[in-house]
Amino acid sequence: MELHMDMMDSPCGLDVSLKVIGGKWKPLILYHLQGGPARFSQVKQRVVGISEKVLIQQLRELVAMNVLIRRDHQRVPPMVDYALTPFGETLVETLRPLCEWGTQNRARVAATLASASSQP
């Protein structure tokens, strides 16, 4: 009962956040759109390693969650850009600490992973 109250006092919304930006690519996509709107091809360049198919998919999902807005400039060849919504901006803010942590601990994590993979 006491534990139950504790859970009520500090509900964790991580499950919600993860539903919106969970997965390998979404956080990175959002990070790269911080700098302002970008065309599909630009996003693809910035998010190194992502396949076109997966990028399209992830962008579509982020648009569906109102985190991103897609603007079609009605041109040929197509010209489409993606930008953070105000809602999306509140979300990408929360990624900053995580990004910094990763940057600061990149070497340490890499070393740990390397030693872990050399042990069977």
Partner DNA sequence: TTCCATACTTACCTTTAGGTAGGTACTGCC
Partner DNA sequence: GGCAGTACCTACCTAAAGGTAAGTATGGAA
Residues that bind a second copy (CB under 8 A): 3, 6-7, 11-20, 22, 24, 27-28, 31-32, 35, 45-46, 64-66, 87, 90-91, 93-106, 108-110, 112-113, 116
Task: Determine the angle formed by the axes of helices 106-117 and 86-104, rounding to 10 degrees.
Answer: 60
Measured from the CB atom, is 12 or 76 closer to a second copy? 12
Nearest to 24 by CA among 44, 5, 50, 42: 50
Select the binding partner of residue 95 from DNA, a second copy, none (C-beta < 5 to 8 A, by kind).
a second copy
User: Looking only at residues 39 through 78 of this chain, which bind DNA when binding is defined by CB under 7 A?
Assistant: 39-41, 49-54, 56, 58-60, 70, 72, 76-78
- 25 touches DNA (CB under 7 A): yes
- 31 touches DNA (CB under 7 A): no
Measured from the CB atom, is 78 or 106 closer to DNA? 78
CA distance 39 to 71: 9
DSSP string, 54-116: HHHHHHHHHHHTTSEEEEE---SS--EEEEE-HHHHHHHHHHHHHHHHHHHTHHHHHHHHHHH
At its nearest, how many Å lie between a second copy and the CB of residue 97? 4
